[in-house]
Amino acid sequence: MSEFIDESEVVPRLARLMAAGTPTLLTGPTGCGKTTAVYAVASALGRPVVDIVGHQAISAAELVGTFLLSREGTHFQSGPLLRAMTAGAVFYFDEMNGVPEEVLKVLYPALDHRRAVTPPLTGTTICAASGFCFVGAYNPLSHGRRALPPAFRQRCAFLRFDYLSMSAESSLLVARTGIDAETARRLVTASMATREAKGTDALEMLGTRPLLQAAEQIVAGASFEEAVEMCLIGTLTDDPKRRDALREVMLEPALGPGLSAAEDESTFEFDPEDEP
């Protein structure tokens, strides 16, 4: 797991929450480092991580466990939540937006003073070993978002994440891929227009992940134009007109010294209503 660049000092706060076993929710747009931060803190605390990705059809059995039939009869197979609780691990529940409320309810006793769950039909209550902690993550801009119920939110502390500054993100691209600093800065500038547009949503924002892919492609021999087309514009839209508009903004010549993306008049304004 790569090192986390902690510009907004979320790491010490996350470390304190995780060390205290306080259930925590991380929010922030896609690719802003939520998962990276959790793994970095877990590693510093010497705790294993059990992770799971939420979705709209997830069931309580997928979380807690289920009975399986075998030649020897039936046996209970623990799900990721129980495994994390018994191992004293960090339970990292990503993409919580779409998770149905009845599944969230299964977590309630594990996230309050009881720190325990009773898997259905087992009649056995499993208490969390010391070291267990819950960290959830969701993207407030994500499509298909569903508000988390108050009973769930009020069991958790919140940490809000955001994208790195231009200079930190450029340095990250250089350090991780070996791309030259000027090209790294051009890639980050290209992504800035998508992040600054008002009223934008997840489909229109480029996170650090596609920038890293674009930088890798350039280091591997792709031109700037090819990398932007494949890794940045390609992720944003299938609409040819919007792709043309994005090309105009993202493939403009490098900005002169001292001129930031925010000051550049050609900064592209997105209108989510245009999305087909």
Residues in touch with ligand ATP (CB under 6 A): 2, 4-5, 28, 30-36, 94, 139, 164, 172, 208-209, 212
Are 218 and 188 in contact, with CB atoms under 8 Å apart?
A: no
Q: Which is nearer to ligand ATP, 35 or 78 (CB)?
A: 35
Q: Which does 132 bind (CB under 5 to 8 A by kind): Mg ion, ligand ATP, none?
A: none
Residue 182 is which amino acid?
E
* Maximum separation of any 2 CA atoms in the chain, in Å: 72
What's the closest the beta carbon of residue 138 comes to ligand ATP, in angstroms?
8
Are 8 and 119 in contact, with CB atoms under 8 Å apart?
A: no
Residue 155 to residues 120, 134, 178, 186, Cα–Cα distance (Å) = 22, 10, 43, 42
CA–CA distance, 139 with 131 (Å, rounded to integer): 26
What's the closest the beta carbon of residue 95 comes to ligand ATP, in angstroms?
7
Q: Which does 172 bind (CB under 5 to 8 A by kind): Mg ion, ligand ATP, none?
A: ligand ATP
Q: Which is nearer to ligand ATP, 208 or 237 (CB)?
A: 208
Q: Which is nearer to ligand ATP, 183 or 191 (CB)?
A: 191
Q: Which does 118 bind (CB under 5 to 8 A by kind): Mg ion, ligand ATP, none?
A: none
User: Going by C-beta distance under 8 Å and a sequence separation of 6 or more, which residues neighbour residue 111?
Assistant: 23, 134, 152, 155, 156
Q: Which does 122 bind (CB under 5 to 8 A by kind): Mg ion, ligand ATP, none?
A: none
Structure tokens, 144: 């298909």
In 98-253, where does DSSP find H-type helix?
101-111, 150-153, 166-177, 181-196, 208-219, 224-227, 234-236, 240-250
Q: Which is nearer to ligand ATP, 35 or 86 (CB)?
A: 35
Residue nearest to ligand ATP according to CB distances in the complex: 33
Q: Which of 103, 188, 94 lies closest to 142 in space, CA to CA? A: 94
Q: Which does 30 bind (CB under 5 to 8 A by kind): Mg ion, ligand ATP, none?
A: ligand ATP
Structure tokens, 100: 């149905």
Q: Which is nearer to ligand ATP, 209 or 243 (CB)?
A: 209
Q: With H, G, I as helix, E, B as strand and everything else as coil, classify residue 99.
A: coil
Among positions 22, 35, 78, 142, the unique one binding Mg ion when judged by CB under 5 A: 35
CA–CA distance, 178 with 218 (Å, rounded to integer): 10
Q: Which is nearer to Mg ion, 38 or 250 (CB)?
A: 38
Q: Which is nearer to ligand ATP, 128 or 232 (CB)?
A: 232
Q: With H, G, I as helix, E, B as strand and everything else as coil, classify residue 90.
A: strand
What's the closest the beta carbon of residue 178 comes to ligand ATP, in angstroms?
15
Binding segment (CB under 5 A) for Mg ion, from list 31-39, 101-109, 188-196, 228-236: 31-39
Residues of the shown chain interacting with Mg ion in the complex, contacts defined by CB under 5 A: 34-35, 94
